[in-house]
Structure 1
Amino acid sequence: MKKLFLSAAIILGGITAQAANTVQTVSMIQSVNIQDEFTEVTADSLPAGVKSTIEKSFPNTKLEKAYKNEKNEYKLEIANGDKKFTIYTDASGNIIKK
């Protein structure tokens, strides 16, 4: 009889321990990058202010590609030897931080 009560107590204790709900919280972070659409332009079509900024601020560099967006902002890919840089300017040649 003792064994019967003991085994019943163990079984009931085991069932209640497994019945406990565990709560798991999962966090999801979504990020969206919005980029302005740039279209490639020739180096000859760059405004004088942009060309001047490249010559004064980045001497001994070569303009490899130039892009323009709807806001008249320019994305310039320049190179100095093996190092390549991307800078952004407005139509006046002021450097924009992006």
Structure 2
Amino acid sequence: MKKLILSAAIVLGSLSIHAANSIVTNAMVVSVNIQTEFTEITSDAVPAAVKSTIEKSFPGTKLEKAYKNEKNEYKLEIATGDKKYTIFTDASGNIIKK
């Protein structure tokens, strides 16, 4: 009878070892595409339509830097006081992204 109780305790003890909680970690990978295809241009090279859009949409701001890519899209860094903004427009002056 002792052997039966002892063997039952061993079997139950070994089953409880396998029932332990396992820690599962999920890793999430996020890729971000940064547009680095813009080249810096002078403020004189920015079309008048783009300049007028900036003046109308963001009054009181100053154009600090301008960039252009192969698709004739413009990345404009404007500032008002101590705040700086980056604006994306096309050649016609339509704002793509604020």
What's the TM-score bracket when you normalise by the shorter of the two chains?
A: 0.7 to 0.9
Tell me which residue corresponds to 1:34: 33
Q: Determine the structure 2 residue equivalent to 1:86.
A: 86
> Equivalents in 2 of 1:82, 1:19: separation in Å?
62
Q: Which residue of 2 aligns with 1:57?
A: 57
Q: Which amino acid aligns with 1:35?
A: I
SS of 1:78's partner is strand
The equivalent residue for 1:13 is 12
Structure 2: unaligned runs, 5 residues or longer: none
1: CA distance, partners of 2:30 / 2:12 = 47
- SS of structure 2 residue aligned to 1:76: strand
1:75 maps to amino acid: K
Return the offset for 1:90: 0.3
Give the superposition deviation at 1:28.
Answer: 3.5
What SS does structure 2 have at the residue aligned with 1:44?
A: helix
Q: Is residue 84 of structure 2 the alignment partner of residue 96 of structure 1?
A: no
**What TM-score do you get using the length of structure 1 for normalisation?**
0.82
CA shift at 1:39, angstroms?
A: 1.1
Offset of residue 42 of structure 1: 0.7
Paired AA for residue 83 in structure 2: K
For the residue of structure 1 that corresponds to 2:86, the secondary structure is: strand
